[in-house]
């Protein structure tokens, strides 16, 4: 918390902090892999972009934030062989209660680190079950999902509703009935060897993992497009998967109780999973080489 490293229970945010009062904060979740912060620059780019959308410049520099994260990982006892979960939160700060804010508030910076519970391959192969929930993703015109802010009630409630329906995660539609994303992950479908993922215009968070997956597909000659996806497209898909920073790629093996494809990881999802894991390993090896 603001450079002071403590046990989680001793890390306290003031009650008048606007992140606490209003969700007036931005954040990132990063994957710490073999000592490296995977796609760190993409995450810092997005943190700043989220800030801009909230009329909020991030006061700390990228170097300061990266150093705070590494120091917290070390203090948390993460070993170079471990995988870490890193949550970086920047709140607008605390001040008099009221929605209007002073531009000069002192931002609070919180770094939360824990060991990542990345699913092993056997678990990845089994995939997850999703529910297409009734709750719509927040409209781009109201609160653009492209900003990663402390306001996650839309996603939290969708997840609760998916769990009540016996699923592991929710897929959410926008007001036009198009597929957007899962509650903390982007979604992709594979049909006849081609990958499709909803475009940013559908109202999604532009995932860092998504950016890398699209680049890896292009390199590997897998046709990949960003295009409108409907629930019918999901029904007709050969394979579906979701992606996010710490969990990586997870196949969706059923939607609303209906099996997707063979009901387990499909061949193209496996290939993209392998490409993605190899890219992260290479990035970590490069970072270790560069700092040696």
Ligand X SMILES: Cc1ncc(COP(=O)(O)O)c(C=O)c1O
Smallest separation (angstroms) from ligand X to the CB of 111: 16
Which residues make up the interface to ligand X (CB under 6 A)?
Answer: 29, 155, 181, 184-186, 205, 207-210, 243-245
Choice between 182 and 190, CB closer to ligand X = 182
Smallest separation (angstroms) from ligand X to the CB of 229: 14
Smallest separation (angstroms) from ligand X to the CB of 274: 18
CA 283 to CA 105: how far, in whole Å?
37
Smallest separation (angstroms) from ligand X to the CB of 212: 8
Residue with tokens 């770094």: 111
Cα→Cα distances 181→60, 98, 184, Å:
30, 33, 8
Choice between 93 and 212, CB closer to ligand X = 212
CA 183 to CA 241: how far, in whole Å?
13
Three-class DSSP category at 282:
helix
Smallest separation (angstroms) from ligand X to the CB of 96: 31
CA 116 to CA 121: how far, in whole Å?
15
Cα–Cα–Cα angle for 101, 102, 103, nearest 5°?
115
Give the CA dihedral 175, 178, 183, 186, nearest 10 degrees: -140
Choice between 35 and 207, CB closer to ligand X = 207
Choice between 94 and 113, CB closer to ligand X = 113
Choice between 93 and 116, CB closer to ligand X = 116
CA atoms within 13 A on the CB side of 89: 22
């Amino acid at each position: 918390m603001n450079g002071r490293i403590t046990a989680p229970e001793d890390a306290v945010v003031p009650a008048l902090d606007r992140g606490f009062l209003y969700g007036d904060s931005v954040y990132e979740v990063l994957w710490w892999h073999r000592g490296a912060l995977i796609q760190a620059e993409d995450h810092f780019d997005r943190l700043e972009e989220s800030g801009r959308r909230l009329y909020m410049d991030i006061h700390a520099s990228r170097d300061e934030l990266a150093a705070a994260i590494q120091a917290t990982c070390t203090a948390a006892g993460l070993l170079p062989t471990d995988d870490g979960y890193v949550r970086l939160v920047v709140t607008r700060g605390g001040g008099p209660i009221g929605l209007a804010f002073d531009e000069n508030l002192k931002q609070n910076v919180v770094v939360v680190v824990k060991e990542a519970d990345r699913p092993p391959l056997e678990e990845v192969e089994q995939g997850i079950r999703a529910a297409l929930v009734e709750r719509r993703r927040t409209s781009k015109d109201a609160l653009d999902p492209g900003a990663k802010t402390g306001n996650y009630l839309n996603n939290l409630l969708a997840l609760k509703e998916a769990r009540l329906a016996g699923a592991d995660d929710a897929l959410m539609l926008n007001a036009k009935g198009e597929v957007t994303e899962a509650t903390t992950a982007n979604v992709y479908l594979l049909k006849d060897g081609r990958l499709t993922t909803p475009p940013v215009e559908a109202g999604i968070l532009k995932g860092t993992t998504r950016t890398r997956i699209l680049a890896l597909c292009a390199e590997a000659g897998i046709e990949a497009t960003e295009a409108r996806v409907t629930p019918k497209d999901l029904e007709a898909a050969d394979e579906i998967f979701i992606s996010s920073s710490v969990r990586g790629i997870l196949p969706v093996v059923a939607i609303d109780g209906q099996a997707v494809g063979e009901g387990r990881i499909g061949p193209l999802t496996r290939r993209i999973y392998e490409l993605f894991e190899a890219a992260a390993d290479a990035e970590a090896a490069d970072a270790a080489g560069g700092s040696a």
